[in-house]
Amino acid sequence: SVNVEDIVLHNFREYVKSAKHILVITGAGLSAASGIPTFRDGGGMWNSLDVEKLATPEAFATNPGLVWQFYHYRRVKALEAQPNQAHYVLARLSIPKLLKKVAPQAKTFHHVTQNVDRLIIRAMDNLNNDTPESLSHLNHSRVNSVIEIHGRITDVQCTQCGHREEVLSSPLCSSLDTSILNGYEDAGSEHRYIAPEDLPRCSACGALARPGVVWFGEKPYHLDDINLLVYKADLCIVIGTSSTVRPASTYAYRVQRHGGKVAVFNLNESVGDERADFIFRGPCETELLRVFP
Ligand code: BJW
Ligand code: ZN
């Protein structure tokens, strides 16, 4: 007998075979299996911490030491984490030769990630190192295939001159020492005051630096590029996001509005599921492997 899941899988694979412009949107659930906490669902780090206190420009202006402690802790966690199977499935799909096996008509494949942890980039790097023969024709498109709409937790950005650079060493300065933090709770408590002059400073002008991520009320990166991709896409694959944060939450329906189809991979229900054409309920690290073995 044939069950509903097999039919969805079959229909999805058929549609993928015809897709020309594929757009993937990812969120925190993609990195959950790597041990990076999500933001909102059960066990999400912001259930215990006040989002408004930490991920806003106002929070940083009021208490940069507190915000830096939070981001330092998450920065260390992201640097220590390893990409999971879901990252590797997406990394393989970003290789044209491998993409063609499941989507022979595909002309473009792009991945807009809301994640700041760089794990997808590292998965792509690891894959490249393992398959040298695919490296040559990939290097360009691979760099361009991932768009980090909310920036990177490893970027350090000046509050004055705008200088931004990726720094992979840790801690960024002596006042941010991992050993003093036990967890997110600690990172969100106010008992450790750090003076602005003891926080990371801009390497170009010496002013106070901030994490190179996008906070509420700030303009996300690469919006013009993304709008073009959304306009062109005929398949939008939404993975591990609650679809509650704009503008990333709007892309799938915009693709659908001009005739494209939407596939959702999520452990739980997410906003807009009722409009999705295909739903793969479960951990994306196993579901993506099942769908794209
Ligand atoms: C699994 C799984 C597994 C678990 N497998 N699945 C009212 C007031 C103020 C602002 C607004 C407002 N109304 C609207 C706004 C705009 C605002 C917004 O959307 N707010 C809403 C919350 C209401 N948006 C913005 O302000 C954005 N900017 C903007 O719109 O600018 C407009 C502009 C245009 C032009 C010029 C100028 C301005 C900016 C948003 C920035 C978001 N920043 C953060 C922090 C980034 C840095 C950091 O990491 O600290 O981004 S907030 C946080 O949410 C983070 C995430 O990227 C983002 C999305 O979260 P995500 O990824 O969806 O995570 P979760 O936890 O919500 O969901 C995880 C999902 O995974 C769940 O569904 C699980 O079920 C699933 N899951 N394990 C599969 N194994
Ligand atoms: Zn500067």
> 144 and 278 in one domain?
yes
**Amino acid at site 17:** K
Please name every residue paired with 209 in a beta bridge, in sequence order, or none if there are none. 158
Question: Tokens 């993975």 sit at which residue?
Answer: 239
| Closest ligand to Cα 244 | 1
Q: Which of 45, 56, 122, 140 is nearest to 83 (CA)?
A: 122
| Closest ligand to Cα 207 | 2
> 121 and 61 in one domain?
no
Question: In degrees rounded to 5, what are phi and psi of residue 14?
Answer: -60, -45
Is 150 an annotated catalytic residue? yes
pLDDT tens series, the chain, 293 aa: 678 889 999 999 999 999 999 999 999 999 999 999 898 876 566 666 666 668 999 999 998 998 998 899 889 999 999 999 999 999 999 999 999 999 999 999 999 999 999 999 999 999 886 654 444 343 333 346 899 999 999 999 999 999 999 999 889 998 887 655 555 555 555 457 889 999 999 999 999 999 999 999 999 999 999 999 999 999 999 999 999 999 999 999 999 999 999 999 999 999 999 999 999 999 999 999 999 99
- Give the SS3 label for residue 27: coil
The separation between CA 211 and the C-alpha centre of its own chain, rounded to angstroms, equals: 16
* Model pTM above 0.90: yes
Query: Mutate which of 26, 216, 267 to test ligand 1's pocket (most atoms within 8 Å of Cβ)?
Result: 216
Query: Mutate which of 246, 250, 279, 291 to test ligand 1's pocket (most atoms within 8 Å of Cβ)?
Result: 246
Question: Is 146 touching ligand 1 by the criterion CB < 6 Å?
Answer: no
User: Whose Cα sits closest to atom 62 in ligand 1?
Assistant: 27
Question: Is 112 touching ligand 1 by the criterion CB < 6 Å?
Answer: no
Q: Which of 166, 157, 179, 5 is nearest to 67 (CA)?
A: 157
133: tokens are: 């023969």
User: Whose Cα sits closest to atom 14 in ligand 1?
Assistant: 246
Q: Determine whether the annotation assigns residue 284 to a binding site.
A: no
Q: Which of 223, 277, 255, 253 is nearest to 21 (CA)?
A: 255
- Give the SS3 label for residue 110: strand
Question: Tokens 């991709």 sit at which residue?
Answer: 229
User: Whose Cα sits closest to atom 44 in ligand 1?
Assistant: 215
* Cα 73 from Cα 93, distance rounded (Å): 31
Of the residues 72, 87, 150, 258, only one is catalytic, namely 150
User: Whose Cα sits closest to atom 40 in ligand 1?
Assistant: 216
Q: Which of 200, 197, 213, 205 is nearest to 160 (CA)?
A: 205
The separation between CA 88 and the C-alpha centre of its own chain, rounded to angstroms, equals: 14
> 230 and 143 in one domain?
yes
> 8 and 90 in one domain?
yes
> 28 and 48 in one domain?
no
Q: Which of 30, 69, 288 is nearest to 278 (CA)?
A: 288
Q: Which of 151, 153, 99, 146 is nearest to 124 (CA)?
A: 146
> 107 and 31 in one domain?
yes
User: Could you identify the atom of ligand 1 that is nearest to the CA of residue 149?
Assistant: 57
Which residue range forms the structural domain that includes residue 14?
Answer: 1-36+83-150+222-293
Question: Is 176 touching ligand 1 by the criterion CB < 6 Å?
Answer: no
Q: Which of 139, 150, 109 is nearest to 232 (CA)?
A: 109
CATH of the domain at 207: 3.30.1600.10
Question: In degrees rounded to 5, what are phi and psi of residue 147?
Answer: -120, 120
Question: Is 27 touching ligand 1 by the criterion CB < 6 Å?
Answer: yes
Question: Is 31 touching ligand 1 by the criterion CB < 6 Å?
Answer: no
| Closest ligand to Cα 187 | 1
> 74 and 88 in one domain?
no
What is the count of structural domains for the chain?
2
Provide the pairing of β-strand 146-148 with 108-113: parallel
Query: Mutate which of 68, 245, 285 to test ligand 1's pocket (most atoms within 8 Å of Cβ)?
Result: 245
* Cα 265 from Cα 29, distance rounded (Å): 9
> 283 and 231 in one domain?
yes
> 241 and 176 in one domain?
no
> 157 and 65 in one domain?
yes
> 30 and 173 in one domain?
no
> 140 and 103 in one domain?
yes
| Segment (H or E) for 60 | helix 57-62
Kindly indicate whether the ipTM for this predicted assembly is greater than 0.90, answering yes or no. Answer: yes
Q: Which of 28, 22, 7 is nearest to 239 (CA)?
A: 28
CATH of the domain at 255: 3.40.50.1220
**269 CB-near residues (< 8 Å, 6+ apart):** none
CA of 116 to the centre of ligand 2 (A): 22
Q: How far is CA 185 from CA 45, 71, 73, in A?
A: 9, 12, 11
Please name every residue paired with 213 in a beta bridge, in sequence order, or none if there are none. 151
